[in-house]
Each structure stands twice: as structure tokens, then as C-alpha cells.
Chains A and B, each alone.
Chain A
Amino acid sequence: MPDQEFNQELVVNVGPQHPSTHGVGRILLNLDGDIVRKAELIIGHLHRGIEKMAENRTYLQVVPLTDRLDYVGSMYANWAYCRAVEKAAAIDVPERAEYLRVIVCEMQRIASHMMSVGSSGADSGAFTVFVYAFDLRERIVELFEQLCGARLTYSYVRPGGVAFDAPDGWADAVLAEMRKLPTGLEELDKLLFGNVIARGRLKGVGIMSTEQAIAWGATGPVARGSGVALDIRRQDAYSVYPRIGFDVVVGDNGDAYDRARCRLLECFESVRIIEQAITQMPEGPILTDGIPRLIAPPKGDAYARIESARGTLGVYTVSDGGAKPYRVHFRSPAFCNVSLISRLAPSHVLSDLGVILGSLDPVFGEVDR
């Protein structure tokens, strides 16, 4: 039997319809036995041309499009886009609206991280974690439904404020939930990170050094898992974050375990932020008066970035003085993070591919845009 036949690399296509690809992404693998030698990420299956569509709509009509970017965390794209428009058109935001934005975005962070941590469990053979995490996520989504009627695509943040004020009793319901949530999170922590099998599957897999994380453009929990203390809430201190105490969670080893654990520990910080924000939130208007339906910012560029659940979400707008944006670009953290799969997967076994991809937490709506 000639040896050559066994030494040949096998090209295997994974996805786009595969549960462990976390969405409609495709990976072309060169396999040597079950060791990945090369991984090429093929994306675009969900490309809807949102940046092109935005050029054909008024500034306000773009808000619902931003929902369809990161559909696990729509609030972030709403907010980042509105911040860019507010900068471009010099629109003020009432204080109560800023607090509501912080509250919903931190709730969104928990809801989004629950999806990701749950998937990490499913990837590493602990499916129970997935179901428990979805229970916690569901409680947040129900509160969103009470707030704005939607469970997934909120369009809640608008240029100049937010769409609806909190209904009677909503803030108390959120506070009550925040008091219960840490128990659930601790349970999840033990269930996933205390599970010897899940630990074995996550530890030491997909290691990325601090320098690599910076050079490769990783942001959010993917960068923080590698020990990069990069958090736009700290760096830019936007909105009312400077008035709120919270810690930036960082990992040490930069493996799939650290990235997933960062997400879980961040949820505790989000609970802290929400509790402080609700206590500090003043009464008052939620939307600045007199914002025209056709916002026409003066000629020029604007850029705003926020810390989304996936990392640095930037929105770049160019105005030509008209009522439609000349150009809108979304600097998508999911896109930049998921691109790392081709750098992280080689030399791992095929069965670790799903774990590494899951630890990058891609949402393909935002990857493909």
C-alpha cells in the first residue's frame, strides 16, 4: 500500500447548514487525519446589502435595518447608529433616555451572553447548560416585550432618545429580576465551568495571546479573554457609564474557556450596572422635542462606537447635507472576530472547530450585513 494515499490532505466542507457553525457560515477545511491544517471561512450567505439599502432611506428609516444586523443584540446596533446620527446632526439626548439606553443595553448583554454561554455548553457536550441559559435569556426578552412590544427586533433606540418610556412597574420588575438573576448565573457557572467534561473541551483550545488579539483586531470578550482590557464603556466613557461603577472582566489564557467565562462574569457586572442605573434614573422626557422627521445633518462625517456584547461596534456615516445618508458603514465586531477562525483553528482536531467558532460568538446577521 503506497504511503502517499494516507498522507494526502482531505478537503472537507463544513456548513453553511451545520449546527456547530452557529449560523449560516461555511468553513472549508484541509484535514490531515482529523487535524485541521487550514481553515478558510466562507461568508456572505446572509449578506443583504444593508449598507446599500441605508443609502436609499431616510435617517430614521435606517433604524429598523440596524435591528437586522446583530439579531441577538439588536439594541446595540440601534444605539450605535443613533449615536452616530446624533453626533452628525448635533441632537441632544435627554438624561432619562440615556439611562434607559444603558439599562436595555446591559439587559441585552445578559440576554446575548446567555445565548453564547449556552452555545458553549452545547458545543462542549453540556446541553443542559444551553437550556438553563435560555431560561435566563427568556426572562430578559419578556421584559423587553413589556417595554417595546418586540422580542428580537426592537428599534427601541431612536435618534434623540428612545421610542417608549418604561411602563408602570417595569423598572421594579427589572430590579426584581436582577435580584434573582445572580443565583441563576452562579448555577450556570457551576454547571458549565465546574463540569469536568466541559472544562476539558474548552480549556487550552483556540489559544490567542494578548499581542495576537490586538494585532488581529479582536474586540469584546474575545479580546478580553486574552487579557486585553479593551472596553469602550471605559475607553470612551460614553453616555452615563462614567457615573456607574463596574469592573472590566479579563481572562488570563486566551482560550475558549476564558472567552466563555468572561461572558458569564460580565453578566454579573451588567446586573450591577442595571441596578445602579435604575436607582439613578431621573424622571423627565425620553425623546428630545422638535427632531424633524427628515433629519438632514450638515455635510460631513461622523463616527460613534459602543461596546456591544460582541465587541467594538462602530458606525460611520457620511452626510452630503441631504435627508438620506450618503454612506453608512457598520464596523462589525462579529465580522472581525469570526475572521480569526482561520488563524485559530489550524493544528486543532476537527471536533474542536465548533468549540473555537462558538467561543468567537459570531452572529451572522452582523458578519454578513
Chain B
Amino acid sequence: MTTTFAATMASIAEKFKSAVLADSDGVADACIRVEREELLGLATELAAKGFDQLEMVTAVDYRDRIGLIYRLVSATLSASLVVRCDLPAEQPRVVSLAGIWPAADSQEREVLDLFGVAFDGHPCPKRIFLPDDFCGHPLRKDFESPTLIRRPDLI
């Protein structure tokens, strides 16, 4: 971490109560964990501090919670950052960041489609890959479908 980047991170972690700053987690140069109430504020601040590229939005189903992952890149700070935000597994709902980074638009729809996360304030909150009448969200670990046949566990 360069000094300017580290300083930026520290000032942000100080400003947001729930934000926890951690070192690299294998995904980016640094990691910030935040509660969903503060996600929008944090994102606004990060965008203002030079994180102008939202590279990736995705999620992981940890069974007890849904973990959202935003990977940000800043050309000015020459650094990458991952923002993690956990949502409850039951009816996960979070604010959309498409207003800050338009790049989030299609990627949030993908998370909506495959994980069933509702994004408040999204310009087009619809499924993106699967038909509108599809039941369930396939990347959830508890997803069941008659056409989904699990491979026998050989290992």
C-alpha cells in the first residue's frame, strides 16, 4: 500500500462507524467491510476519493448470509480495493450503487437474478439472464430444481 492510499483508507475507516479496514484478502490491495446502512455513504466517499472504476460486483452465498463484493480500481491512487457487505440470507436487500458507478447497473442485475438480492433504487430491477417467470435463484446454495442433477460425490 502506498502512503497516500493507506492514508485515504484510514481517513475513510475513521469516518464510517461500521467500516472495518483490513489488509489484502487475496482480492485487492485492501479490504473494507461495511454494514449495509453505511454502504451508500461509503461508496459516495470512495468515488469522490478517486475510485472511479467499479470493476466487479458479485456475491457469495455463505448459507447464513449473503456476502456482497465490490471490487474498485483507482487509476489516480494506482490501487484496488474490495468493499464487502454482508446481507441476511432471508430476503437480502441493499441499496443500488448504479447511481454512483453506472457500471454497477448490469452487474447488480446479475446478482439480483442469481442470488435474489433486491437492489433499492436500481434503474431496472429485473432478472438479466433467466426468464422473468423463473423460480428461485440458482447460485443460492439451497437452490433446487428438477433439471439440476448433482454429480455423485466421488471425492
Q: Which of A49, A303, A323, A331 has the most CB of B within 10 A?
A: A303
Q: Do the beta carbons of A57 and B151 come within 8 Å of each other?
A: yes
B60 is contacted by which of A43, A58, A326 (Cβ under 8 Å)?
A: A326
Interface string of B40-70 (1 = CB under 8 A from A): 0000000000001111101011000000010
What is the interface residue range for chain A against chain B?
35 or more
Q: Do the beta carbons of B129 and A329 come within 8 Å of each other?
A: no
Residues of chain B in range 141-155 having any CB-CB distance to chain A below 8 Å: 143, 148, 150-151, 155
9 contacts between A and B (CB under 8 A): A44-B129, A52-B148, A214-B53, A215-B52, A216-B103, A294-B155, A303-B71, A312-B55, A314-B55
**Interface flag for B106 (CB, 8 Å):** yes
> Which of B4-12, B22-30, B86-94 participates in binding chain A?
B22-30
Q: Do the beta carbons of A214 and B155 come within 8 Å of each other?
A: no
Q: In the assembly, what is the distance between CA of A327 and CA of B58, in Å?
A: 11
Residue numbers of B with Cβ under 8 A of A are 25-28, 52-56, 58, 60-61, 69, 71, 75, 101-107, 110, 114, 127-131, 138-139, 143, 148, 150-151, 155
**Interface flag for A131 (CB, 8 Å):** no
Interface string of A318-355 (1 = CB under 8 A from B): 10000110110101000110010001000000000000
Q: Look across to chain A and name the residue whose beta carbon is closest to the beta carbon of B25.
A: A301
Residues of chain A in range 55-69 having any CB-CB distance to chain B below 8 Å: 56-58
B26 is contacted by which of A49, A57, A87, A314 (Cβ under 8 Å)?
A: A87
Instruction: Collect the chain B residues with CB atoms within 8 Å of residue A339's CB.
Output: 105-106
Instruction: Collect the chain A residues with CB atoms within 8 Å of residue B110's CB.
Output: 335
Q: In the complex, given contacts A49-B138, A216-B102, what are 16 additional A-B residue pairs having Cβ atoms less than 8 angstroms apart? A: A43-B129, A47-B129, A51-B139, A52-B143, A214-B75, A217-B54, A217-B103, A230-B75, A318-B60, A324-B155, A327-B61, A327-B139, A331-B71, A336-B103, A336-B107, A339-B105
